Structure 1
Amino acid sequence: MCAAVLLLCGPASLPADVRKAEGDSVFYRMYLSAKEKGNMEEAMKSASIFLESMDTSFVSQDASSLAVELSEYFEDCFKFSKALQWRLFARKYQQDSDVRVRAENEYRLAKLYYRTGQYDKAFEYGTSAQELFSETGDRASLLRCVNLLGAVYYVCKDFDNSNRCFRRFAQGAEEINDSSLLIIALNNIAVYTNTVSDSAKTRSLISRCIDLCKGMNDTTWLCKMYINISASYVNGGNFSKAKESLSMAAPFLSDIEEFGQYYHYLGVIDYLEENKSSAIDNLIAAVSYYEQGEFPERQQSCLELLQELYASEGDFKDAYDALHRYYEISRDDRRGDAVIDLFRARGELMEQSRREEQMAREKDRAVSLAVGISLVVLIGAVGFIVFKRREYDISRREQELASRNEIAEFKRMSQFKQDMLVEETIGNLSKLGTETEDGGMKAELARICNVLRETKDRDEWKEMKAFVPKFNSDFYKNLIQEFPSLTINERRLCVFLNMNLTTKEISDITRQSVQSINTARGRLRKKLGITGDTVSIQEFLSKFN
């Protein structure tokens, strides 16, 4: 996202309106005192209490400015929900009529709605900011809005419009010769390119960003670029290059998000290289940083890997704890509704534009008034009926999907507990077999252990068979004959990749995060013996068709 300059503004003395509430003024003076001493955490705490206890009839422009300062503070701390709360407070009582100030506030709100996952609101406020910046003639700020809308389209899986916005943003940045904006634009195009599995082009774009950062001596963006290119190397299976990129980023790490990503990616690399102890340590460190802000999806990605690592080490208590924490994280998943709201907002804006054009034409062509109104009403009625029908169908499908997701999550928890019980039983029986001197008893215990393992594998096979019918194909038989050691999940991933499904599509089918799918792809490349970037995993698998 485009990083705007933060305007930290706070009143130097107690405003006249505030003095009317003497009880509140105590906290205001505490805020001033703490801020003067450089204790911003205590200052913001006092400011929050002051504003929350204030009589709204006395709220002034000074109080609104203080709310803006609170919002910027919490945004810097990556606590986006609180930042959004105070930005909305400031907007409600703001009296400034300057178009530029209002445009900046709308843009900041759009960013915060984006960071909190409310993409319908992000689109609404981003569009509003775009219109206001158009009035000011501030092209750089206008381009920031285009970039933000591109990010919203990307999250809502409208990749065509997302790509269009990112390329428009890059073209504009080049035209106004703004290197900072160009870095952001190229990075976002790289993210889009990575989605369509073009890792070579992704790294080429990020490498260009790195050169620009070095030329500007901008270590902040340079750090982010090194982290991003390391992720691309991980997805391509080049772990040495990924580690090298992370080591270059290490000296420039400056906030909890960057530290979290740094340890997160180190943990993923260790996991793929089967350095389990180191992977666990790095993932725990990543979670500790992510917990300090609002990064729920990234926390879940780390916890998912930790659960698998603990289970593979036989530490089922910690494995269960990681899985429990995974499901405890609040996942206010609004993305399905966001897609509907996004296009509803677009439709409303288009309808508003048509009405304004109609009113302008009416001044010059009064004769066409009746025909024009009838046409608009007819189009609106048909559009409303079509929209309502589509909205009903989407709502019904979302309800069905939500029910299936709940069942899938319950089955996953149940299967995990069953697997732990089976593994524990096999372990106990194996231990008993080594301790007994009776040869017949040893043989019987070994037979029981084999039956338990075969039953577990057979149950997993039945689940997989029911899910994807293409597992009986010649491709699948040829693949298993060549690589019999592939796990159930790895075999399933091979089938999906051979079907030319993208990472996003596989994520939607399996209900796993994109990060998890990319991690699994990296591990699979290593297991299949694919090295370098010259051959894609799809090309390698195609020879088994």
Structure 2
Amino acid sequence: MHKKNLQIVFTFLIALLFISTARANTIQHCDSLIKKGVEYMWKKEHVKSLELLTQARNLAEKNHWYEQVFLATNNIGANYFTMLDYGEALNYYLESYTIAVKELDPQHEMVVLNNIAIIYTKENNFEKAEEYFKKAYEIAKENKDKIKIGLYAMNLGGVANETNRPEEAKKYITESLPLLKGDPNLYVLAQITMAENDLLTGHTTQAREKALNLYASSKNLDFNDIGISLLFIITKSYLAEGKYDEAAVSGKNILAENPNTETKKTTYELLSKIYSKLKLYDKALQYKDSVLSAETELNDIKNGKLLETNKVKFEIQNYRNEIAINEEKLKTERKTFYTIIAAIMAIVTIIILLLRNLSVKLKQKKLIAEQKEQAIALELEKEKNENLILEKQIREKENKAKLEQERLKNEIESRNRKLTAKALYLSGRNVLIEDILTSLSKIPELSKNSSLTKHIKTLREHLKSDDEWENFITHFEEVNQGYITRLKTSHPSLTSNDIRFICYLYMNLTSKEIASMLNITLEACRKRKERIATKLELSDASQLYDYLYTI
């Protein structure tokens, strides 16, 4: 009877262990983790979301549940996209794409292709964006998915508009319109893309009429900033037709919609241009000043987002470390559990044998031996757990050091962005003042006034002086700690103009911005980049940016 009861207890313990393990490893449990992770993502609780999605991904990978691996990875990418960390988001989207191609159907593949293309659009890499939109578009056609064909055709039309290929854009947009009629919001977006195409081809009145009709009839102007997009089309059409008063009113309507900081910056630039055309230079300068304020605010937001993203990364890394430690602990506990069960069975067997043989002494000796063995095993397990805790503390210290290093890096990048914004602002302000002086010089009555002419000449000479550049060099050296000195030492053949050009490249200014600041054409800017690459003994100008960051 004693033997039978002990066997029942042992069987119950084993069954309980396997039931709890099975519950934690079901596909339904994995799906619930992904669902909760997505819910936390929409609430902007990214740390919690990433914890749940990482847990789901690990579970799915362990069990080869490829759809769940895809969904968890894709939504991890979506978290980083929401936090403006496009590089990290792209890495996870590319992982999702690999899983979709190898293990899943084309429906999953085209969803993640569209996500990848949107990231490249955000980074103004329209060539790559078009490549991935086109892949998604071809898959949608093969699967005869009308809504997806229309969506991707509209996106391709938008990219063609951005890269000044209006005829190609119009073909895609025309294809998308009948396919998207079933979705009111997407259909309005396609019509907006067509209006932008009209504006690009010079049909300004037609573009404005479409925009006005859509603004009056659309029921959901907040969806994807439809209302603001329409107001931009209206404003730009008035500006193109020389109707500057109407353009100014329409531009102010954009600001009345309380747009985000990036849209405010674009609107301020547009209004500055409009008031300059109206020769209301005070207002033009006010909006130029607003551009700088918006740029500073935008940089602060981006810097804050970057720091928040890095904190999330380190917290997720800690979470992964904890998972690893917990799994190791679980393995250890299971080993201990199995050891205890084995010990119990051994003791039961010994008791039965001793009862049969009536050998009390043998029973006592074996029990003592088993107890000593268990004590040693438990001591060893205790030491192992203490080592795991110590290892966790070391990892935490290392992560804190990495976070501090990342903070310092972000601070330098932030100061460089502020320096860039200031340089662009001063350049734009000087161009505006130069335009004002040119306008004043053309007025006959003022040109006869010798005193005023002399002042205008003096002001022009002051604008041409290089004092701002000297100040810029001083601030650049403070932020980047002897970069120019190292550059001159490595390449003494560089001229001061070459060094100036390189500084702008190092601060990640676009060719358009550099050309504006140096008052040269985009083609001249490209040739100067090639000439500098030759001086630096580089085989290709495309290697210039990467090389400058190694100095």
Normalising TM by the smaller chain, what interval?
0.5 to 0.7
- Identify the residue that residue 399 of structure 2 maps to in structure 1: 390
Q: Quick check: 2:160–2:168 contact (8 Å CA) kept in 1?
A: yes
TM-superposed deviation, 1:162: 6.0
The structural deviation recorded for 1:444 is: 0.5
Q: Could you tell me which residue of structure 1 aligns to residue 332 of structure 2? A: 358
Counterpart of 2:269 in structure 1 is 308
Matched, 1:213 2:222: no
2:95: which partner in 1? 167
Partner of 1:41 in structure 2?
none
CA change 1:522–1:131 in 2 (3 A) is farther
Say yes or no: does 1:222 pair with 2:149. Answer: yes
The match for 2:353 is none
Question: After superposition, where does 1:193-204 map in structure 2 within 5 Å?
Answer: 203-204=130-131
**Which residue does the alignment assign to 1:346?**
320
2-side partners of 1:270 and 1:460: how far apart? Answer: 38
Q: Structure 1 stretch 521-530 or stretch 135-144: which is displaced more?
A: 521-530
Given candidates 509, 519, 528, the residue that maps to 2:523 is 528
**SS of structure 2 residue aligned to 1:349:** helix
Task: Letter of the 1:387 partner, please give it.
Answer: E
Letter in 1 for 2:387: L
- Structure 1 residue 183, shift from structure 2 partner: 1.0
Q: Secondary structure of the residue that 1:436 maps to in structure 2? A: helix
**Paired residues for 1:459-498 under 5 Å:** 459=468, 462-463=471-472, 466-467=475-476, 469=483, 491=501, 495-496=505-506
- Give the equivalent residue in structure 2 for 1:446: 456
One-letter amino acid of the counterpart of residue 523, structure 2 = L
Normalization by structure 1: what TM-score? Answer: 0.54
Within 2, Cα distance between the matches of 1:375 and 1:309? 66
**Amino-acid identity (%):** 10
Bigger Cα Rg:
2
Deviations 1:427-457 (A, max 9, x none): 27952772325353353033133134225x6
Distance 1:116 1:417 in 2: 40
Please say if residues 147 and 185 of structure 1, whose CA atoms lie closer than 8 Å, have aligned partners that are also in contact.
yes
Asked which structure has the greater RCO (Cα within 8 Å, sep 6+), the reply is: 1
2:309 to 328, 335, 342: 335
- In 2, the alpha carbon distance for the partners of 1:142 and 1:197 equals 30
Q: 1:345, CA displacement in angstroms?
A: 2.0
Partner of 1:184: 111
**Does the aligned pair in 2 maintain the 1:150–1:163 contact within 8 Å?**
yes
Give the direction of change, closer, same or farther, for the CA distance of 1:464–1:312 in structure 2 (3 Å limit).
farther
1:378 aligned residue (384, 387, 390): 387
Shift of residue 356 of structure 1? 1.5
Counterpart in 1 of 2:247? none
Contact kept in structure 1, 2:170 and 2:197, CA below 8 Å: no
Letter matched to residue 446 of structure 2: T
Question: Could you give the per-residue CA deviations for residues 43-78 of structure 1, whole angstroms, max 9, x where no partner exists?
Answer: xxxxxxxxxxxxxxxxxxxxxxxxxxxxxxxxxxxx
Give the distance between the partners of 1:189 and 1:109, measured in 2 at CA.
24
CA RMSD across the alignment: 6.2
Per-residue deviation, residues 336-371 of structure 1 (Å, max 9, x unmatched): 322222212222222222222222232345665433
- Give the 3 Å change call, closer, same or farther, for CA 136–407 of structure 1 in structure 2: closer
Distance in 2 between residues matched to 1:387 and 1:432, nearest whole Å: 67
Larger helix proportion of the pair:
2
1:75 aligns with: none
Aligned length, in residue pairs: 414
Structure 1: runs of 5+ lacking an equivalent: 1-96, 482-487, 497-505, 511-516
Cα 1:379–1:267 change in 2 (3 A) is farther
Alpha-carbon distance change, 522 to 345 in structure 1, aligned in 2, over 3 angstroms: farther
Tell me by how many angstroms 1:268 deviates: 12
- Return the offset for 1:161: 9.5
- Listed one character per residue, the Cα deviations across residues 283-311 of structure 1 (whole Å, up to 9, x for unaligned) are xx999654589999x94443333333433
